[in-house]
Chain A
Amino acid sequence: MDPLVYLLDFIVFIGIFSILSLSLNLEFGFAGLANFGKVAFVLVGAYSYYILSEIGVPFYLCLILCALSSAIVGFLVSLPTLKLREDYLAIVVLSFGEILKLIVKSEGWIAGGVWGTPVSPAITIDGVSSRVDALVNIGLVYFCLSICLIMAHFLMNSPYGRVIRAIREDEIAAEALGKNRARYRAQIFALGSAMAGLGGGLYAQYIQFIDPYMFVPMLTFTVWIMVLVGGPGNNWGAILGAGLVTFFDRGANIAKDYLTLPIDPSNLQYIIYGVLIILVLLYRPQGLVKESHVKTKALDRVSHERTTVEIRRS
């Protein structure tokens, strides 16, 4: 296979996984919601994309609707679980992912059941090489990623983000200060699910094939490793984590194809993941990139005031 296509493919995957890790970072990093069922919302996005594209909806509408349908599913799942303690939420969404997988697996009429089904790509240009195809996908994926990143950045550096972080720190205290934690959490859960659904749609149209076995819990944990390594509570950290983990993942595939090794590198990568997560949690539990302050005008105002006071005093 063309090495350049490998590289471009790698870049596309970083983009898609960055969207997923941004979404988990929103839920876990900022709001403290342990979503161990991320894969469920990726699945909803991917299958919505397939169903919608089959009935002839244009791709941009497909992607928007992927996000929307996933958000609705996320919101509905969140309703009974958000009042539970964090560990129960984790178990409920984890099993929700498995249930969804079993449904699409056994209901063959939805999308080919166990056999899976081909998905048409978002943008098809006739007679171009796979390099150009990959470039087009890079454009599409990174456009979506920048929308997600801008949204996450502005939202988390606003009074809303401050409240979300406060609820993560101490939900009782936040509730006592008039913040309706159930509502805030449902919103964040829906928003995170929307991003995951968008990622799922992009994934389906890029791979051009979906089957239930692509949506195993391992995908959820891969995204978790990205967020934990990169730095929960920092959007750039989430993207860095996505880059690192995808590098190991894709790197293992490339090594498998080009090098003759005594062991299978794709098994080796799980060992690397394990070591990576232990090292990070031991020596840098806040992740590679630390959470930053909430940057709003209040901060500028106060730091400005402080400097003027200090000047006056000196």
Chain B
Amino acid sequence: MKEPLLRLEEVSKHFGGLYAVNRVNLDINSGGIWGLVGPNGSGKSTLFKTILGLHKADEGSIFFGNRSIANLVPHQIYALGLVNTFQVPRLFHTLSVLDNMMVAGRGHQGDSLINSLFFRKNWQKQEVELADRAMEILELLEIDNLVGSPAGELSGGQRKLLEIGKGLMASPTLLFLDEPAAGVNPKLGRKIFEKIGDLCRKGLCCFIIEHRLELLFDFAHWVYVMDKGQIIIKGTPEEVVKNPSFYQVYLGD
């Protein structure tokens, strides 16, 4: 059997007495869109943050490939190829949209003090390449006309798009998207999913939290359903939809 890309074994995270994530086991194999749904407060975002090192898991182990990542800090986890996007966009407000994208660029030589100061030639070419890449992604997300504006002046939906753009810019192996279509108009929401779907066919792997099931279930090939900190259902979208407890915890009657 194929080795899973990401594997969680009995992962728990509690805040005081509240188990936000309670003994979660899950596997993400490479390629495609993996969904995570559940009612508000069921621990989806906490699970993401725990995987990405923003929270430290209280129990259990997390493996990326063969490597345990439970004790790594966020920038080390990024270095392995797991990239986070925040549910509420966290942008660099006074920096331009372009600079926001450029910060996310992976392996930029100019990010080091010595290179930036003394070896300017080393990264000039890379800078231009990354700028081109940033423009491509911004065009894809249809916010390329805002390239020079400070990120703080963007509207809520545009911020969401830029947050996704930063995630894509980071050349992820596994990209975590926390409600990418929330606050975006329906047409663009679908378009975002189509673009992500295209990228996933080329080898990207996405783990997505989304409440807009009509979108997620069209694109995801495997869905985990969480309730009260635990994974209660897993399967293909068709299987999940047929499961009666899915209606009970999530959709209502």
Q: Which of B90, B92, B96, B116 contacts A293 (CB 8 A)?
A: B96
State the CA gap A172–B89 with chains docked (Å): 12
Closest residue of B by beta carbon distance from A301? B131
Within 8 A of A (CB), among B57-97: 73-75, 78-79, 83-84, 86, 90-96
Q: Label chain A's interface by main secondary structure.
A: helix
Q: Which of A179, A191, A302 contacts B111 (CB 8 A)?
A: A179
Indicate if the CB atoms of A302 and B147 lie closer than 8 Å.
Answer: yes
Chain A residues, CB < 8 A from B166: 177
Taking the closest CB of chain A, its distance from the CB of B105, in whole angstroms, is: 8
Chain B residues, CB < 8 A from A233: 94
Given known A-B contacts A298-B98, A301-B128, A160 and B90 have beta carbons under 8 A apart: no
Indicate if the CB atoms of A297 and B91 lie closer than 8 Å.
Answer: no
B99 close to chain A: CB less than 8 A: yes
**How many pairs of residues, A versus B, come closer than 8 Å at their CB atoms?**
130
Given known A-B contacts A179-B103, A180-B75, A160 and B147 have beta carbons under 8 A apart: no
Within 8 A of A (CB), among B101-124: 102-104, 106, 108-113, 115-117, 120, 123-124
Most buried by B among A170, A174, A176, A306: A176
State the CA gap A32–B147 with chains docked (Å): 25
Taking the closest CB of chain B, its distance from the CB of A168, in whole angstroms, is: 8
Indicate if the CB atoms of A169 and B94 lie closer than 8 Å.
Answer: yes
Given known A-B contacts A154-B117, A158-B120, A297-B124, A174 and B96 have beta carbons under 8 A apart: no
Given known A-B contacts A178-B75, A297-B128, A302-B147, A159 and B86 have beta carbons under 8 A apart: no
Chain B residues, CB < 8 A from A170: 90-93
Closest residue of A by beta carbon distance from B139? A309
Within 8 A of B (CB), among A151-210: 151, 154-155, 158-163, 165-166, 169-170, 172-181, 187, 191
Indicate if the CB atoms of B127 and A297 lie closer than 8 Å.
Answer: yes
State the CA gap A160–B131 with chains docked (Å): 15
State the CA gap A30–B137 with chains docked (Å): 27
Closest residue of A by beta carbon distance from B147? A302
State the CA gap A158–B100 with chains docked (Å): 14
A305 close to chain B: CB less than 8 A: yes
Given known A-B contacts A159-B116, A163-B111, A172-B54, A302 and B131 have beta carbons under 8 A apart: yes
Taking the closest CB of chain B, its distance from the CB of A309, in whole angstroms, is: 9
Chain A residues, CB < 8 A from B109: 159
Indicate if the CB atoms of A176 and B54 lie closer than 8 Å.
Answer: yes
Q: Which of B94, B102, B120 contacts A298 (CB 8 A)?
A: B102
A residues near B (Cβ < 8 Å) are 151, 154-155, 158-163, 165-166, 169-170, 172-181, 187, 191, 233, 291, 293-294, 296-299, 301-303, 305-306
Chosen A-B contacts, 23 in total, with CB atoms closer than 8 Å, are: A151-B117, A158-B110, A158-B117, A159-B102, A160-B115, A160-B116, A163-B111, A165-B95, A165-B99, A169-B93, A172-B54, A174-B92, A174-B103, A177-B166, A179-B103, A180-B75, A191-B113, A293-B96, A297-B131, A298-B99, A298-B128, A298-B130, A298-B134
Further 14 A-B residue pairs, CB within 8 A, beyond A172-B90, A179-B111, A298-B98: A155-B116, A158-B117, A160-B111, A169-B94, A170-B92, A175-B74, A176-B84, A177-B166, A296-B127, A298-B102, A298-B127, A302-B134, A302-B148, A305-B135
